[in-house]
Amino acid sequence: MDLDADIQKLPIKKDLWDVVDYINALFKKAIDYGASDIHVEPTEDFLLIRFRKDGDFMIIDKVHPENISAIVTRLKVLSKIKIDENKKPQDGKIVYFYEADDMNVDIRLSTLPTTYGEKVVMRILKQDASLTNIEALWLIDINVEKVREALKSNYWIMLVAWPTGSGKSTTLFGILKHFNPLAYNISTLEDPIEYNIEYVNQSQVKPEIWYTFSTGLRSLVRQDPDIIMVWEIRDKETATLAVEAALTWHLVLSTIHTNSAAGTVQRLINMWVEPFLLASAMKMVISQRLWKRLCQSCKKEHPLKDYEMKKVKDFLAPIVEKDQLENLVFYKWEWCDVCRQTWYKWRLWIHEVLIVWDFLEPLILNKESANAMRTIAIENWMITIVQDALFKALMWETTVEEALKLI
Ligand SMILES: [Zn+2]
């Protein structure tokens, strides 16, 4: 995408007819597109409207400066913030009714005074209804069982997402949805709050006023919680507090940036979390990756080359009965009109679920390498991420070609 060319060729819109309609249409378009943010920014010559989607910006509109005040005022009215205040930043919230899905969508708004006027940024918050449950997270059956079993106890559960933007919030909230918030005290520390969940105490951290994951966690444990979700472990203090919370009988859910399930243990040891505490606090690590899904409109049976089939069998042999490895059928997609338009919707996740059983404890205590831990975990029936991807290829949801890229 060439943003400079996009902005050049777009004409400046002078007559908006009706600002109310214009803004409603803008919200609708943003949600239709699956955008996460709407930026309304005054420049020297026009009001620039951009969407952020999957991390990238797209240019939506250029509006003549004479409309700026009407647009900003309308947004302020909708979000119930002060209309006459334009010297200081303000925060508000808009509830927009999205007809296509027959649901309300919360939009968090913030304003900031800039050189050419107030800039308005809106974050589109997805609603509870769009959240999924454990069964819909693309976990294979054996892993669903492992996750369910692990959630029965009060322990520390980690989720690893590589790379960033691999949908960790969907998984985290999918796990959280497993619990009835009326039967438990569920509290979260988030940055930012992306989904609103009824009866869950969600709290937004604000590092600028020293309300961080670690200071927040200290306060949360005094709130009589059952389940605590910390958006991300970034430092030793948060990691240590999370371990302590797990050891005092709380279920703690959180995420960390590493590149494998076994690497997480390593990462925490490197953060100077005491190995003996880690060994008893940690129960499960889910490593996940966003993956290309086959287009349902054009997928077709696809015979593998001999060497590909051999690789597939080598990978699956340790975990699948021999006779089940005969006559394997795989699919592939050919680009069609549907997927050309909507390829970004065809996504699934692949996982590696590591359960910290007794067999891992001595390795954690001895601070062994991630590789050593991984080897032992595989010997104890951990499905590797390659095997997981191959299972999904066998379910005709992705291709062998994609799965083998992981090796
Ligand atoms: Zn297609």
In tens, the pLDDT along 47-102 reads: 999 998 877 889 999 999 999 999 999 999 999 999 999 899 999 999 998 887 77
d(CA 94, CA 295): 35
pLDDT of residue 2: 79
In angstroms, the CA 132 to CA 241 distance is: 29
| C-alpha pair distances (Å), 194 with each of 124, 188, 197, 228, 396 | 8, 12, 10, 17, 32
Q: What is the pLDDT of residues 180-223, one digit of tens each?
A: 899 999 999 998 887 788 899 999 999 989 999 999 999 999 99
Average pLDDT, the chain: 88
- Examine the pLDDT at 165 and tell me if it is beyond 70: no
Nearest to 86 by CA among 107, 68, 60: 68
Q: What does the pLDDT read at residue 149?
A: 87
Secondary-structure percent of the chain, ordered helix, strand, coil, rounded to 5: 40, 25, 35
Indicate the pLDDT class of residue 317, thresholds 50, 70 and 90: very high
Question: Ligand 1 centroid vs 173 CA: distance in angstroms?
Answer: 30
Residue 346 CA to ligand 1 center (angstroms) comes to: 10
3-state secondary structure of 403: helix
Higher pLDDT, 3 or 109: 109
Distance 293 CA to ligand 1 centre (A): 10
Most confident among 100-109, 151-160, 271-280 (mean pLDDT): 271-280
335 CA to centre of ligand 1 in angstroms:
5
How confident is the model over 349-367, as a mean pLDDT? Answer: 90
Mean pLDDT for 348-374 is 91
Which residue, 398, 289, 399, is CA-closest to 353?
Answer: 289
Q: Which amino acid is at 106?
A: D
pLDDT in tens, 220-247: 999 999 999 999 998 999 999 999 999 9
How many whole angstroms from 302 Cα to the centroid of ligand 1?
15
Confidence check: pLDDT of 8 > 80? yes
Looking at the predicted structure, is the pLDDT value of residue 128 above 60? no
Q: What angle do the packed helices 19-33 and 68-78 form, to 10 degrees? A: 70
What mean pLDDT do residues 112-139 have?
81
**Integer Cα distance of 354 and 377 in angstroms:** 7
The residue among 218, 286, 222, 220 whose CA lies nearest residue 256 is 286
CA distance to 42, 215, 216, per residue, from 190 (Å): 30, 13, 10
Q: pLDDT tens for residues 15-34? A: 888 999 999 999 999 998 88
Ligand 1 centre distance from Cα of residue 287 (Å): 28
- pLDDT of 127 above 70: no
Measured CA to CA, the distance from residue 307 to residue 196 in angstroms comes to 48
**pTM above the 0.85 mark?**
no
pLDDT of residue 5: 85
Give the model's pLDDT for residue 130.
54
Cα of 399 from ligand 1 centre, angstroms: 13
Ligand 1 center–CA 308 separation, angstroms? 23
Model pLDDT, residue 166: 66
pLDDT at site 162: 54
Query: So what's the pLDDT on residue 389?
Result: 95
374 token code pair:
């991984």
Domains of the chain: 3-125 (3.30.450.90), 131-404 (3.40.50.300)
Q: What pLDDT score was predicted for residue 158?
A: 74
Buried b (16+ CB within 10 A) or exposed e, 315-333: bbeeebeeeeeeebebbbb
Ligand 1 centroid distance, CA of 38 (Å): 30
35-49, 101-115, 329-343, range with greatest mean pLDDT: 35-49
Answer with the residue of higher pLDDT: 7 or 40.
40
Q: Model confidence over 364-388: pLDDT tens digits? A: 999 999 999 999 999 988 999 999 9
Q: How far apart are CA 236 and CA 337, in angstroms?
A: 50
**pLDDT value of residue 33:** 86
Q: Cα of 405 to ligand 1 centre, how many Å?
A: 21
Distance 33 CA to ligand 1 centre (A): 19
- Indicate whether 342 pLDDT > 70: no
Q: Is the Cα torsion angle 90, 172, 124, 5 positive or negative in sign?
A: positive
Q: Would you state the pLDDT for residue 369?
A: 92
The CA-CA-CA angle for residues 160, 163, 167, to 5°, reads: 70
CA of 1 from ligand 1 middle (Å) equals 22
pLDDT the model gives residue 385: 93
Measured in Å, residue 333 CA sits from the centre of ligand 1 at: 6
Tell the burial category of 95 from Cβ atoms under 10 Å away from its Cβ (0-12, 13-18, 19+).
exposed
CA of 297 to the centre of ligand 1 (A): 5
Gap from CA of 398 to ligand 1 centroid (Å):
13
Question: How confident is the model at residue 164, as a pLDDT?
Answer: 59
H helix count then E strand count, the chain: 15, 16
User: In this structure, are residues 390 and 317 in contact, taking their beta carbons and an 8 Å threshold?
Assistant: no
Whether the predicted pLDDT of 126 surpasses 70: no
Residue 343 Cα to ligand 1 midpoint, Å, equals 8
pLDDT at position 53: 83
Tell how far the Cα of 79 is from the centroid of ligand 1, in angstroms: 41
Q: How far, in Å, from the CA of 209 to the mean position of ligand 1?
A: 49
- Distance (angstroms) between ligand 1 centre and the Cα of 332 equals 10
Q: How many CA atoms lie within 13 A of 262 on its CB side?
A: 20
CA–centroid distance, 300 to ligand 1, in Å, is: 10
**Gap between the Cα atoms of 123 and 115, Å rounded:** 22
CA of 154 to the centre of ligand 1 (A): 44
- Distance from Cα 339 to the centre of ligand 1, integer Å: 4
Query: What spacing in Å lies between the alpha carbon of 294 and ligand 1's midpoint?
Result: 8
